[in-house]
């Protein structure tokens, strides 16, 4: 690859912003310099910001592309490419595709196993050079299910499983401590009657009682076998967090209360919150607001969750809230990369991957002007 020089840019480094130039060579950052470059074909960034490529640890976006409407299944390869391109366009260069493992084989809210086949399709497209950005697998391990242990057993260390999250959506606790939110969701999305909702709640509670402990052990063992980071999900109490710490968890997805977030920091567990929560000013499930944790210094990582473009927007909102752009950008770059065990990206320094985004600020709106993944222009 011919070297690429970006000049007249504001480079967002770990602790400072400098006006200077950056050289990309063979997919890596070769040099960072103060001031303009004298290279004849350098790209003039016109004073725009250059930041590291964003690192997304938890997104349900691929499932949205595969099932754009209830019971409508889109061709998987086309869905994966659309999903990949969407994230590249908003500055994400490392993506953990969240795939559910653990299914319900009966009832109105039944859902079948799909993660194994989909992970193979992603791997095939990656091997063929069809994907623009770097993909890893994030297995969302549903404890309150019928088939979790069996589905986990189908994955091997070759599957690039980087993250496994323990998801316990048993009604009456964690995310659905207030059952009214679950009722509203199922009645709107699946047209549940009151009687069907009550039967579903009873069924999930029975599954948790029957399989919960075995499924939790299976997820912990799978993370060790696959070399994946283990995360908790929807911690609500200090007791939940203490259980996470005992399992060796160092990443907490979407704690639902201030109490849980504080306990996470006391145990050295990084807190990840949804960017849509921050942008909307609160949780759609009635849980703790991301901005409340940000003000308390308890927010470490942002995730786009269900809106890919929210990641960049929320990072700049955090920058305005904290008055510290490098700190805010780290919540979507360096901190998630380190939490996932990736030490070759998330920062701008010589020798690291040239995963970069050119961003122009239009008032309070960040506009992505260019994206490079491993030195290749992808957006």
**Secondary structure (DSSP) of 115-175:** HHHHHHHHHHHHHTT--SSEEEEEEEEESSSSSHHHHHTT--GGG-EEEEEEE---TTSGG
The domain ranges of the chain are 53-343
Q: Name, in order, each residue with C-beta under 8 angstroms of 285's C-beta and a sequence gap of 6 or more.
A: 175, 176, 178, 181, 256
CA distance 379 to 371: 5
**CB-CB contact of 170 with 131 (8 Å):** no
Can you give the pLDDT at residue 108? Answer: 53
- Which is it for the CA torsion 308, 365, 295, 322, positive or negative? positive
CA distance 11 to 60: 31
Strands 17-25 and 4-12: antiparallel
CATH 3.20.20.140 fits 53-343, yes or no: yes
**CB-CB contact of 185 with 160 (8 Å):** no
Question: E strands of the chain, at which residues?
Answer: 4-12, 17-25, 28-34, 43-44, 49-52, 54-59, 92-101, 134-142, 161-167, 229-233, 251-253, 270-274, 301-303, 356-362, 365-373, 376-377
- From its phi and psi, is residue 188 left (phi > 0), alpha (psi between -120 and 50) or beta? alpha
Backbone angles phi, psi at 134, to 5 degrees: -85, 125
**What does the block give as tokens for 285?**
């499930």
CA distance 42 to 280: 39
Listed as ranges, residues in the chain with pLDDT below 70 are 106-111, 169-191, 194, 197-198, 200
Closest alpha carbon to 301 in 338, 266, 267 = 338
**What does the block give as tokens for 219?**
């997820």
Can you give the pLDDT at residue 71? Answer: 80
pLDDT digits (tens, 9 = 90+) for 51-109: 999 999 999 899 999 999 878 999 999 999 999 999 999 999 999 999 999 887 766 56
E strand or H helix at 113:
none
CA distance 159 to 152: 12
Closest alpha carbon to 168 in 47, 256, 80 = 256
- From its phi and psi, is residue 306 left (phi > 0), alpha (psi between -120 and 50) or beta? alpha
Can you give the pLDDT at residue 69? Answer: 87
3-state secondary structure of 257: coil
């Amino acid at each position: 690859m011919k070297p690429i020089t970006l000049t007249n840019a504001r480079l967002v480094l770990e602790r400072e912003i400098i006006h200077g130039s950056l050289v990309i060579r063979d997919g890596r950052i070769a040099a960072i310099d103060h001031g303009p470059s004298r290279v004849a074909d350098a790209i003039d960034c016109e004073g725009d910001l250059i930041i590291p490529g964003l690192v997304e640890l938890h997104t349900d976006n691929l499932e949205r592309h595969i099932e754009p409407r209830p019971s409508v299944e889109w061709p998987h390869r086309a869905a994966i490419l659309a999903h990949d391109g969407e994230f590249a366009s908003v500055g994400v260069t490392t993506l953990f595709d969240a795939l559910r493992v653990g299914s319900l084989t009966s009832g109105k809210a039944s859902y079948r196993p799909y993660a194994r086949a989909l992970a193979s399709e992603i791997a095939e497209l990656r091997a063929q050079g069809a994907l623009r950005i770097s993909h890893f697998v994030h297995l969302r391990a549903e404890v309150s299910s019928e088939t979790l242990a069996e589905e986990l057993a189908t994955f091997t260390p070759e599957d690039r499983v980087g993250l496994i999250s323990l998801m316990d959506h048993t009604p009456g606790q964690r995310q659905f401590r207030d059952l009214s939110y679950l009722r509203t969701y199922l009645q709107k999305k699946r047209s549940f009657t009151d009687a069907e909702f009550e039967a579903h709640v009873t069924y999930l509670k029975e599954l948790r009682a029957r399989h919960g402990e075995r499924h939790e052990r299976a997820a912990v063992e799978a993370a060790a076998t696959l070399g994946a980071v283990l995360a908790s999900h929807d911690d609500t109490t200090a007791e939940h967090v203490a259980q996470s710490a005992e399992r060796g968890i160092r990443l907490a997805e979407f704690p639902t209360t201030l109490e849980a977030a504080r306990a996470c920091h006391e145990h050295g567990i990084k807190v990840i919150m949804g960017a849509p929560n921050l942008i909307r000013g609160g949780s759609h499930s009635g849980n703790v607001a991301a901005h409340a944790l940000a003000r308390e210094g308890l927010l470490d990582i942002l995730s786009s969750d269900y809106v890919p473009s929210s990641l960049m927007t929320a990072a700049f909102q955090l920058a305005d809230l904290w008055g510290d752009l490098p700190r805010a950008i780290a919540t979507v770059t360096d901190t998630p990369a380190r939490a996932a065990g990736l030490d070759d990206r998330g920062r701008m320094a010589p020798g690291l991957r040239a995963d970069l985004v050119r961003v122009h600020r239009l008032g309070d709106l960040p506009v992505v002007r260019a994206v490079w993944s491993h030195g290749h222009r992808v957006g």
